Amino acid sequence: MTEPEPTAAERELVDCYERLVAILREHGDDLAPFAHRNAVKAAAALWQVANDLGLQPGHLYDLGI
């Protein structure tokens, strides 16, 4: 028996996480403090979803996550 695949909804959450990370990587320096720090906090929370799904979302200390 293998691990179940993520559901469509779980996949969408992982997409959100990846999108957030991409925004922080591309525009992190341009964001206002309120946007930047809340995006980091949201990414840290969504990282848990990807991690709990066994997707190995990596370590993103360079982005402050």
Partner 1 sequence: MTPSPYWNPRTETLSRDALEALQLRKLRGLVDWTHASAPWQSAQLRKAGLESSDALRSLDDLRRIPFLERQDWMATQEEDPPYGAVLAAPPEAAIRYHTTSGTTGKRPLAVLDGPKDWEWIAEMWCYGFWAAGVRAPDSVFFAFSYGTFVGFWGAHYACEKLGCRVLPGGNMTTEARVRMIAEAEVTVVCSTPTYALRMAQEAEAKGVDLPGSAVRVLVLSGEPAGSIPATKALIEERWGAKAVDTAGMTELGTIFMFECSHQPGGPHIIEDHFVEEVVDPVTLEPVPDGELGERVVTSFGRGFIPVMRYRTRDMVVRVPASRCDCGRTFDIYDGGIRGRVDDMKVVRGTNVYPRAIEEIVRRNVGALEEFQVRLYTVDGIRDEIEVLVELAEGSQTTADGDLLQEVGRQLSEAHEGLRFGVRTAEPGSLPRFELKAKRLNDEREVWGGAGGERKTM
SS3 string, 30-49, reads HCCHHHHHHHHHHHHHHHHH
- Of the pair 5, 26, the CB lying nearest partner 1 is at 5
- Map tokens 């179940």 to a residue: 4
The footprint of partner 1 on residues 39-58 (CB under 8 A) is 40-41, 43-45, 47-48, 51-54, 56
Instruction: Show Cβ contacts of residue 25 under 8 Å, excluding neighbours closer than 6 positions.
Output: 63
Contact call for residue 8 and partner 1 (CB under 8 A): no
Q: Can you give the binding site for partner 1, defined by CB under 8 A?
A: 1-4, 40-41, 43-45, 47-48, 51-54, 56, 59-62, 64-65
